[in-house]
Amino acid sequence: MSALLIPMPSLIRTALLTIAALAGSVAQAQPLSRAEVFRSPDYAAAQLSPSGRYVAVLVPGEDRRRNLAILDLDSARFSARISVPFADVGEFIWLSDARLVFSLTQLGQSRKTSSHVGGLYVVGRDGKEQRRLFQTAGEWANTGVRRMVQMWPQQRVPGSDEELIVASNDVDEHSIDLYRLNVLTGKRTLLTDKRPPRIGRWVLDAQLQPRVAIGREADSLDLISHYRDSDGSWRELWRHRGSRGDVSVPLSIEADGKLLVASNAGRDTTSVREYDPQRQQWGEVLVEHPRYDVAVDALGSPVGAQLHHELTHELLGFAVAAERPLQLWMDERRRAVQALVDKALPGRSNILQFSAGDRVLVGSSSDTEVMRWYLLDSRQGLLTELLNSRPGLARERVPGTEILELRARDGLPLLAYLLKPAKAPRGQPLPVLMLVHGGPWDRGAVWGDEHGDMATARWLASRGYLVVLPSFRGSLGFGKRMLQASRGQFGLAMQDDLDDVLTAVLQRADADPQRLCIMGASYGGYASLMAAARAPERYRCVVAGLPVSDLPALLDSGWSDISSNERAREFWVEMVGDPKQQRAALQAVSPVHLADRIKSKVMIYAGVDDRRTPLEQAESMRRALQRAGNEPLWLAKYGEGHGYRLTGNHDEMLDLLERFLAEQLKP
């Protein structure tokens, strides 16, 4: 309870003094470099040890690989640097103050090094006694296994400094299983034998025994929640399909046997409620937001981090991707500390990590402030800066993010983010870039995010553009109405939403209606091409990355993983349409058949090895534009799938994009 007694003036005063010192001299608002936006930061993913004495953080190594470094808070010194040759450190977890467990990944590297992913390692806090607990992908391939087999950490075992719960897909390529793993002996105990088939998520009870299994059947899109009774038998709790109705997804089990469940039954957005599986009765709502989903989205997929007790792993709160990210706590003490920190660091997203002691690690960022980590001494009420993720980047150079809320023509609430150059003169008309997110069944950009579309928007806005990031029907995290309103609306109401957002933006004095461009990747590429076909005189240019151009052909193709996966194919047919029955209607909203209507200059980039939207989709669009006398700017790279992962290719695409936009819009 000591955190509730924090002297508020002391906490606020310390934080404000720190912020004032950080402001320093005003830098010129020169464009952000690629390295400042897209390269790995100096520090990332800082994580407090259980006692609160140490912080583990990801840092760039000498070979540009991502390493793990340990900061001793008592001495204010880094005591170790941990790495594995030819790989980047991926996920990691403190097992105790003495040990960590981590997995491997690949960042910006070629497929030649992809065999070094998937391994699981344990290491001492001092960097010694590092050893492998699970094979890498390359080692699995040598055994004849032709799929990606991985193991990753899930949670600590309370009271143990040598055991943890790990997840793996080693038993069954269609399921995730859980093990209790001793990192000293390497012994694994399977916890999920005699389970239902095709399980992707688990809920453990206080004894670390599986009590809820969540998965899907081979031939169904229904999300099924199974519950294990005290006699060991499994029974079905719920069977839902979010594209058609409600979802209810168990999140944790409490000491009295009740479940905490994310559900949108009887409401639009998901909230967290109690549920008694024995009496089959709902309890009170514990966490909710009026406009945004909590814990899972309308399809039942996880959205936002779950916040757990640092020692017992009890579920205590949720990170919610609202218009600005926030943390919602069910625990009164943590809710009070969150309120104090938010008051001390206003206008930011403040992420709290608690320890068994008085120390709290605060990750704080905003739309213009890079991630900084502060150490809060909850006993003394002191807030001290520890780490700055990008110390060379002044906030005065970072484009701010404005929130635009509006309603579509049919009344559906819409959200858009607007970014423009830092220090742009008030009222000066700027060329407008609409950046459409992929999916389309995805959240898209989130305020303050340093990755994905928001990173691209920040980089472009610094070059003189007003960048618009719209959410539209089909976007996830906004409730089930937003999802279900997208059924059958490719090229129709989903495009209307983009038009409605753009209409609202063009009413502003700082938007130049004569200099418009629309861009995006995957579905965003499709929507951009469709926008130019629907309004041939509106846009000067289009950038379509990895685009879908021919809706019927996507399912006819044997190259697409949508056409070859039964569940993916069924979902596509349900949400977009069936080529066998609706071919003419789908062709009518396919850009490849509308190329003669597109008068804008077009840039297309694609991945030769793309299995989601195969190269043939982009090539068909290129040929159609050529036949219409509109030669597109073209880039297709070997070694790339559905997204440009390789650093060299990504840089080449950005160079081409920057020149193309400058020629067309003259920022």
Closest CA to 529 of 579, 430, 601, 585: 601
- The pLDDT value given to residue 612: 94
Structural contact between residues 249 and 296, judged by C-beta atoms closer than 8 angstroms: yes
Q: 643: which 2 tokens?
A: 């997204």
Distance of alpha carbon 227 from alpha carbon 221, whole angstroms = 19
Number of other CB atoms surrounding residue 662 within 10 Å: 14
Q: Please count the residues of the chain.
A: 667
What are the DSSP calls for 141-160, one per residue? Answer: HTTT--S---EEEEEE-TT-
3-class SS at 252? strand
End-to-end CA distance of the chain: 55
Spacing of C-alpha 6 from chain mean position:
34
What residue ranges define each of the domains in the chain, with the CATH number in brackets?
399-665 (3.40.50.1820)
Backbone angles phi, psi at 343, to 5 degrees: -75, -35
C-alpha distance from residue 156 to each of 49, 230, 251 (Å):
12, 24, 17
Structural contact between residues 44 and 55, judged by C-beta atoms closer than 8 angstroms: no
What does pLDDT average to in each consecutive run of 10 residues of the chain (667 residues)?
A: 30 34 46 95 97 97 91 94 92 96 88 76 95 87 79 93 95 94 96 95 96 92 95 95 94 95 97 96 96 97 95 96 96 95 96 96 97 94 95 95 98 98 91 98 95 97 98 98 97 98 97 98 98 97 98 90 90 95 97 98 97 96 98 96 94 98 95
Residue 405: exposure state from Cβ atoms within 10 A (0-12, 13-18, ≥19): exposed
Closest CA to 657 of 493, 545, 577: 545
Distance of alpha carbon 326 from alpha carbon 340, whole angstroms = 14
Backbone angles phi, psi at 612, to 5 degrees: -80, -55
- What pTM value is reported for the model? 0.93
C-alpha distance from residue 623 to each of 593, 634, 640 (Å):
11, 11, 21
DSSP 425: P
pLDDT tens-digit series, residues 205-214: 999 999 999 9
- The pLDDT value given to residue 5: 27
Distance of alpha carbon 63 from alpha carbon 178, whole angstroms = 34
Backbone angles phi, psi at 523, to 5 degrees: -60, -35
Structural contact between residues 521 and 528, judged by C-beta atoms closer than 8 angstroms: no
